[in-house]
């Protein structure tokens, strides 16, 4: 009995682990003002998380933990942030939207925890000096940086200083070092890749559906051919039966004639 109770307890613990993990996800959403609705039991990793206009508590990031390790896009526009110190380590994150907040520094944590970041939007924040952006030098993959509507953009040598400070940059505020505007494909490369994968997935699904329909059509045509063959066979059998009946009639007709002849002879003998 004791062993059985221990096994049952282990089973309950194993079954509760997915639920506990889901509860952590739900708490993260709830902490940022989202209403959580469960759809099905299967959980898929979250790759994009948009929490724009959800007010933060005390200007800090809350509820987003390393459980969101598959995130590739995180958007926290106009949530009242004053610090990014609590952002977790997200190795797969490529695009971070932090515009229209009140952040003025502390970007060292981004270089430490978001090592593969390629797009960073800090427009509409409180950056005043070029020096506050120096930590971004440690983001080797950083391709696009937005500082529009930040005080730092009022400096006379702002653009030249930023491109000198961050040589890995291709675009600053949507323009490259030669003042050429970023194309949609460059500015939203990740989104294009995701759309391409989605299109390929749906094309494969459509091809599979077409194959299924084609197989069903082949089956139907096969049934029709079989029906036609069976119909021909049945008609041939009917013809054979009719011919047999005719032969039987022909064979039986002389016999009947002979019988009538014998009957007449017998009647004549009786009359005599």
At 193-213, the pLDDT tens digits run 444 454 555 556 566 666 655
CB atoms within 10 A of CB 132: 19
* Nearest Cα to Cα of residue 105 among 121, 85, 120, 89: 85
Q: Which of 1-15, 47-61, 110-124, 217-231 has the highest mean pLDDT?
A: 110-124
Higher pLDDT, 142 or 37: 142
| Helix, strand or coil, per DSSP, at residue 89 | coil
pLDDT band at 8 (very low <50, low <70, confident <90, very high): low
CA atoms within 13 A on the CB side of 32: 24
Mean pLDDT computed over 156-160 = 94
DSSP 234: H
pLDDT in tens, 212-236: 556 666 666 555 555 554 545 455 5
229, HSE (Cβ side, Cα atoms, 13 Å): 6
Residue 262's Cβ-count burial label (10 Å; 0-12, 13-18, 19+) is exposed
33 pLDDT band (50/70/90 cuts)?
very low
Structure tokens at 184: 């949609």
pLDDT at 127: 97
Q: What is the mean pLDDT of residues 168-194?
A: 76
Cβ-count burial of 3 within 10 angstroms (0-12 exposed, 13-18 middle, 19+ buried)? exposed
What is the pLDDT, as a whole number, of residue 256? 46
Please give the structure tokens belonging to residue 98: 């932090």
Confidence (pLDDT) at 255 = 45
Q: Which pLDDT score is estimated for 161?
A: 96
CB-based burial, 92-117: b 16+ in 10 Å, e otherwise? ebbbbbbbbbebbbebebbbebbbeb
Q: Which of 153, 148, 151 is nearest to 126 (CA)?
A: 151
Distances in whole angstroms, Cα of residue 92 to Cα of each of 5, 8, 66, 70, 168 = 42, 38, 11, 6, 19
Beta-carbon count within 10 A of 60 CB: 14
Give the pLDDT score at 153. 96
Please give the share of the chain, as a percent, with pLDDT higher than 90. 44
Q: Convert the pLDDT of each residue in 92-107 to its tens digit.
A: 999 999 999 999 999 9
Q: What is the pLDDT at residue 233?
A: 45
Asked if residue 151 has pLDDT above 80, the reply is: yes
**Of 77, 127, 133, residue with least CA distance to 101:** 77
> Which position has the token pair 């004639």?
257
From the CB of residue 65, how many other CB atoms can be counted at a distance below 10 Å?
Answer: 16
Could you give the CA distance from residue 50 to residue 208 in angstroms, rounded to a whole number? 33
pLDDT band, very low/low/confident/very high, at 264 (cuts 50, 70, 90):
low
145 sits in which H/E element? strand 144-146
Separation in Å, CA 53 to CA 26, 28, 32, 56, 80:
18, 15, 10, 9, 8
Tell which residue, 145, 143, 137, has the closest CA to residue 112: 137
Diameter over CA atoms, the chain: 154
pLDDT of residue 57: 81
For residue 249, the model assigns a pLDDT of 52
Rounded Cα gap, residues 73 and 171, in angstroms: 18
Task: Report d(CA 61, CA 168) in Å as an integer.
Answer: 28
């Amino acid at each position: 009995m004791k062993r059985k109770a221990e096994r049952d307890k282990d089973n309950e613990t194993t079954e509760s682990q997915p639920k506990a993990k889901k509860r952590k996800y739900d708490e993260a959403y709830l902490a940022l003002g989202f209403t959580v609705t469960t759809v099905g039991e299967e959980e898929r990793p979250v790759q994009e998380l948009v929490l724009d206009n959800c007010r933060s508590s005390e200007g800090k990031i809350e509820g987003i933990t390393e459980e969101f390790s598959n995130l590739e896009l995180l958007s926290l526009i106009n949530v009242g942030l004053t610090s990014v110190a609590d952002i977790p380590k997200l190795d797969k994150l490529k695009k971070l939207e932090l515009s229209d907040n009140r952040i003025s520094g502390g970007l060292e944590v981004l270089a430490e925890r978001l090592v593969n970041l390629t797009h960073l939007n800090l427009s509409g924040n409180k950056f005043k000096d070029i020096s506050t952006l120096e930590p971004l030098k440690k983001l080797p993959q950083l391709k696009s940086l937005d500082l529009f509507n930040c005080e730092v953009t009022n400096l006379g040598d702002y653009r030249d200083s930023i491109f000198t400070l961050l040589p890995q940059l291709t675009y600053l505020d949507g323009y490259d070092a030669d003042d050429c505007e970023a194309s949609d494909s460059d500015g939203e490369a990740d989104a294009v890749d995701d759309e391409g994968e989605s299109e390929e997935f749906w094309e494969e699904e459509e091809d599979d559906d077409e194959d299924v329909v084609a197989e069903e059509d082949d089956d139907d045509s096969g049934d029709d051919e079989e029906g036609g063959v069976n119909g021909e066979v049945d008609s041939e059998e009917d013809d054979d039966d009719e011919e047999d009946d005719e032969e039987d009639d022909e064979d039986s007709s002389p016999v009947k004639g002979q019988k009538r002849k014998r009957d007449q002879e017998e009647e004549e003998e009786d009359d005599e």
